[in-house]
Structure 1
Amino acid sequence: MVSRSIVDLPLHGGKCPPWLFERMVRLSRAILLLVYQEFGAKELIKRLSDPFWFQALGCLLGFDWHSSGLTTTVGGAIKEALKPYFNDLGIYVCGGKGKRALNTPQEIIFWGEKQGLPKQAYKFVTLSRLTARIDNNAIQDGFQLYFHLFIFSKDGQWGVIQQGMDEKTAYARRYQWYSEKVLDLCENPHTGIVSSVKKENVLNLVAKESKPVQNSLVRLLTEDLSLVIKELTPKVHLIFKEDHTLTLKDLSVKSLKKVWEKVYQNPPSDFQSLLLTEGMGAKTLRALTLASELIYEVKASREDPVVYSYAHGGKDGHPYRLNKQLYDTTIQELEEILRKAKLGETEKLSLFKRLPKIFNIG
């Protein structure tokens, strides 16, 4: 099993038809509740955070296996499926696509406070922001985030599913995280990397090889800016090659001045704090990275952090057209398993007694 994953998917037009989305919600609900019943909340978050398990789930639900919509639509179906059970399971799914992604912090705080976990909720808000900053800014692969799902449990486990779009190629890339796989948020933190497209010269500041650069970035911001500019001047003519990722355009004195004005009096203590600094976007990080490489003679990783199954067919007819009857039979069989489940725990028994009502059956 690989340790980190990104999935590249082409953009497909159109929307998921209502008849399919309704079935996706019902089938995903049955599957996820079975996982919870058998293995618990921790395992459920772990599986949702696994790129290959998530991809297989999307295929089982009948969505386009190679479409960017698999992430957003399956993510939306999961949130819709589990929402009636948030309090019963102690698992919460926050965020989504576009504006919903921007509302993630408010959703995390709402559910955290509702469970009497305000301190933990604010910790999760920071994690939500940090994972987004890393995938949008610290990994500069040309994909801009537009989808962010943050999943957490009352016991402290968390997972992230987010996706970015490369407007030039119309491909999307999915990034996934799981709390227990993350030993260091700023060193190879993802749960896997799967891609049909590997890019050249990707600036990856959270690769293990970039650790010296992370340290030099923090150190650089404690230096006098005039001395930094003076140190850079004789070197800029010698360093650049035609295939170099960073160029003189990235070494904007104006950008560097803005950074120093914000952080010089109170510089970040570590790379994680630096990423969370207001205004520390991708362009600023490029300028600081280049300056650090030139002054401290360190080198950031340029390696793209890159490294699936059908049951019911796909929405767009690939590999074959969806079989609604087979799809409904699968749902009914899983629901029947859930009905017959004999659970010793009162909390879980009460949970599954409500299944017929939520599924609108029986």
Structure 2
Amino acid sequence: ARRYHWLSDNAKNFVVEPHDAIVGDVKRDIVLDMTAKESESCRKTSVDITKEKPKKIKRMIMSIRPAYQKSLQEWMPKTADTLWKEYPIDVLSMPRNINWKALSEVYEFKPQNYEQLLGFKGMGPATIRGLALIAELIYGEKPSWKDPVKYSFAYGGKDGVPRPVNRRAMDESIRILKQAIQEAKIGNKERTRSLQRLRRFVPANMI
């Protein structure tokens, strides 16, 4: 889990890129982004998958394994009864805590769109990720794996997560911001207001 802030002044819906900007405490190389426009086909396929019987979904999930993991088929006799199709995965491993009860209930509900699927009780991030992986690996509908976080400004967390606070870097950033305000070609009134806004985010003794 990670902390982030997102801005949505112009959001038309909360399924397809509702954010205008996202700032997080860390930016990662690989992140499943089901809100991306590139994930549209994956979203639709995820909804279609939930209309399959839960037993079939479980079989599909069992057919997915990490690429580094050996398959039992390598040591089994090659007969029609022992061979089944497998889908090695390189990006993320299949989540272990899929909510099978929710999948059984959503099968009866039969959502008409992704928004209804997300709003169904029990459809948490692990289950949504499992459906996305099935959609990509078995049905070929690839989601976006690009991190939607554009900027990472965090200097650390007071609880040491994701890392201890870097006071030197924080002090330097405050100094630069203060200097920029003082040297900006703006009126004294606007300069005072800008410094007051800066004080909201930093200790008073640092301004």
Q: Secondary structure at the match of 2:132?
A: helix
Q: CA 1:231/1:282 → structure 2, altered by over 3 Å: closer, same or farther?
A: closer
Corresponding residue number in structure 2 for 1:274 = 117
Q: CA 1:275/1:316 → structure 2, altered by over 3 Å: closer, same or farther?
A: same
Q: Secondary structure at the match of 2:120?
A: coil
Q: Deviations over 1:327-347 (max 9, x none)?
A: xxxxxxxxxxxxxxxxxxxxx
Corresponding residue number in structure 2 for 1:311 = 195
For 1:234 and 1:311, the matched residues in 2 are separated by: 58
Q: Deviations over 1:228-247 (max 9, x none)?
A: 33445445354222xx2x20
Corresponding residue number in structure 2 for 1:218 = 47
Corresponding residue number in structure 1 for 2:93 = 247
Does 2:21 match 1:192? yes
Alignment of 1:304-343 (within 5 A): 304-307=147-150, 310-312=194-196, 314=199, 315-317=202-204, 320-321=206-207
Q: CA 1:317/1:256 → structure 2, altered by over 3 Å: closer, same or farther?
A: closer
For 2:129 and 2:123, the matched residues in 1 are separated by: 10
Q: Secondary structure at the match of 1:290?
A: helix
Corresponding residue number in structure 1 for 2:5 = 174
Query: How far is 1:271 from its partner?
Result: 0.4
Q: Is the 8 A contact 1:251 1:290 kept in 2?
A: no
Q: CA 1:230/1:205 → structure 2, altered by over 3 Å: closer, same or farther?
A: same
Q: Secondary structure at the match of 1:297?
A: coil
TM-score, normalisation: structure 1: 0.35
For 2:112 and 2:31, the matched residues in 1 are separated by: 26
Q: Is the 8 A contact 2:29 2:147 kept in 1?
A: yes
145, 149, 152: which one aligns with 1:302: 145
Alignment of 1:40-51 (within 5 A): none
Corresponding residue number in structure 2 for 1:16 = none
Q: CA 1:198/1:265 → structure 2, altered by over 3 Å: closer, same or farther?
A: same
Q: Deviations over 1:121-143 (max 9, x none)?
A: xxxxxxxxxxxxxxxxxxxxx23
Q: Secondary structure at the match of 2:144?
A: coil
For 1:184 and 1:290, the matched residues in 2 are separated by: 24
Q: CA 1:247/1:182 → structure 2, altered by over 3 Å: closer, same or farther?
A: same
Amino acid corresponding to residue 214 of structure 1 in structure 2: R
Q: Which runs of 5+ in 2 are unaligned?
A: 66-85, 151-176, 182-193
For 2:203 and 2:127, the matched residues in 1 are separated by: 41
For 2:135 and 2:118, the matched residues in 1 are separated by: 16
Q: CA 1:191/1:232 → structure 2, altered by over 3 Å: closer, same or farther?
A: closer
For 1:251 and 1:288, the matched residues in 2 are separated by: 13
Q: CA 1:304/1:257 → structure 2, altered by over 3 Å: closer, same or farther?
A: same
105, 122, 135: which one aligns with 1:262: 105
Query: How far is 1:275 from its partner?
Result: 0.8
Q: Is the 8 A contact 2:16 2:37 kept in 1?
A: yes
Alignment of 1:130-141 (within 5 A): none
Corresponding residue number in structure 2 for 1:292 = 135
Q: Is the 8 A contact 1:210 1:300 kept in 2?
A: yes
Q: CA 1:262/1:196 → structure 2, altered by over 3 Å: closer, same or farther?
A: closer
Corresponding residue number in structure 2 for 1:66 = none
Task: Work out the percentage of aligned pairs sharing the same amino acid.
Answer: 26
Q: Which one has a larger percent helix, Structure 1 or Structure 2?
A: 1
Q: CA 1:192/1:235 → structure 2, altered by over 3 Å: closer, same or farther?
A: closer
How many correspondences in the alignment?
A: 143
Compare relative contact order (CA 8 Å, sep 6+) and give the higher one, 1 or 2.
2
Q: Is the 8 A contact 1:256 1:287 kept in 2?
A: no
For 1:305 and 1:256, the matched residues in 2 are separated by: 26
For 1:186 and 1:263, the matched residues in 2 are separated by: 18
Query: How far is 1:224 from its partner?
Result: 2.1
Alignment of 1:7-18 (within 5 A): none
Q: Which one has a larger percent strand, Structure 1 or Structure 2?
A: 1
For 2:108 and 2:24, the matched residues in 1 are separated by: 42
